[in-house]
Structure 1
Amino acid sequence: MSEHSISASRVIDAPADAIFDVLTLPSRHKEIDGSGTVVSGDDQRIMQVGQVFVMNMNGEHMGGDYVMENTVSGYDENKLLAWKPKPQGAELEGWEWIWELEPQGPEATLVTETYSWEHASPASKKAVSFPLFEEHALEQSLERLASAVSYD
């Protein structure tokens, strides 16, 4: 953990393209969410930087149900996927989710998930106590991702 981010890594017994396939389909994020906040997501596949996808969320920190607009900030097929979330109707922004994939042979991939609030706006830092999620939530996401990929 750094001052402004937390990360977790795990080798998953699947090729990078199979993992990337799950990560780039927001409708599957509920399956892999270790934080317990994702309710549902878009059926449209993430394809490029600048693309916006929507997630329906639920969290006590936001008073219950809310909608998160995520702008893709990093995309390198089978290697990197990152997005910057922004709750609809709230002036909260500046944090980022980053997924990095590094092949470890033909059937294994080192996956690192990073949750960064380095560029969180002052309003976000005032409204939210960072980190909003602990490293355990990232570890859970990686475990759930491994399960999701093994069932494909």
Structure 2
Amino acid sequence: MKNKDKILEILGNKVSKEESQWHKESEFRALNKKWLKRSQAVALKILQTIRKQGISQKELAKRMGVKPQQVNNWVKGKNNFTFETIAKIETALGVELMNIPLERKEKKEVSALEVVTAIYVVPSSQPTPATHISTSSKSMSIESLTTWSNDTQKYVN
């Protein structure tokens, strides 16, 4: 029994007296997953850029007028960047870290009835105004619609 008690004493000395925080850290990551992922992407881009430019984190800090520890925190991928900070980093490195599209172009979809009506009303030599046609579960490009229109018009007329 002496060996067992000695082993337990050694193990007891190795165990931390403080409660582990892994569950709190895990919960934090789960709750903040979206911005943490973006922060990691920015951090990776910063690291790739300074490596490509052959400069150090210390040099980047000097260019920006911040402490090297601040740059080190940024590249860990856990920083909730402000737009101001991102803009300053972009200026210092001469790169774009984030690109937010201002406008999304949506594909125009029309029903099969509208396609048949368009084929009947619009001669096939005139371009169809739609950029993407969806008939039921099938999609058609303008090129395939024109071919389909030409073939179908034989039966419509």
TM-score range (shorter-chain normalised) is under 0.3
TM-score (norm 1): 0.23
User: Comparing both structures, which one devotes a greater share of its residues to helix?
Assistant: 2
- Greater RCO between the two (CA within 8 Å, min separation 6)? 1
